[in-house]
Homo-oligomer: A and B are copies of this chain.
Amino acid sequence: MLHEEVVGRIRAILLDGEIPPGARIPERELCERLEISRTPLREALKVLAAEGLVQLLPHRGSRAAKLTDKDMRDLFEVCQGLEALAGELACERITDAEIDEIAAAHADMVRHYSEGDLIQYYRGNRAIHEAIVTAAGNPALTSLYASVTARIRRARYVTPMTPQRWALAVKEHEAILNALQRRDGVGLAHILRAHLRHKREEVLQAGFAETEGNDVTLRIA
């Protein structure tokens, strides 16, 4: 198994919440499960620690990182900046074909909305945001975005929504698609910022930060 694969598998385990935020990461167990020795596992944990997904405590092992309200707010703020930038760049560089794909993904997502399927809705939602970032044609931005969103993914794409908020989100996505089709970079940036600000408020209001005694895993189970 390649180094990158090890990192990816552990990242998936963390993002799935299989090891919940704050929990200790059982080195020996993971070694057995991935059928590797401690050396490559520890290399991967150090990388994930640099990404912010793992917290290393010297001489006390590693834990799945836990985000405070402040952390969450900060990361959403950065995410807003990155998506706004991506939106502006995407409007300059996106191809008609890419726009069509996003439009199709949007239609799909709206369908899931009208069917009340939150899981599928979120899946489509995420695909759209990622497609916009990809369309910016800036791999450095894409990978930074990936690492930031990974840390807030569970909060962002798992929080339950009230019907009002959900309806608003869908409306905002209409505007997002519209701005893209008009290639209105500044407008798109504004909408994306507002969209994420609303999502952030939602998440924080729901008390979704991964603080002590606030286990996301249980909530979404």
Contacts and interface: CB of A to CB of B under 8 A. Distances in A.
Contacts of A47: 46-47, 49-50
Contact of A46 (B3, B56, B85, B139): B3
Chain copies in the assembled complex: 2
Interface in A141-200: 141, 144, 148
A138 B46 contact: no
A143 to B, nearest CB: 8
Mostly helix, strand, loop or mixed at chain A's interface? helix
A56 B148 contact: no
A2 B39 CA distance: 17
A3 B71 contact: no
Given A50-B47, A144-B148, A148-B144, A138 B3 contact: no
Contact of A39 (B39, B49, B77, B144): B39
A18 interface: no
Interface in A57-86: 58, 71, 74-75, 77-78, 80-82, 84-85
A124 B188 CA distance: 36
Interface of A: 2-3, 39, 42-44, 46-47, 49-52, 56, 58, 71, 74-75, 77-78, 80-82, 84-85, 89, 138-141, 144, 148
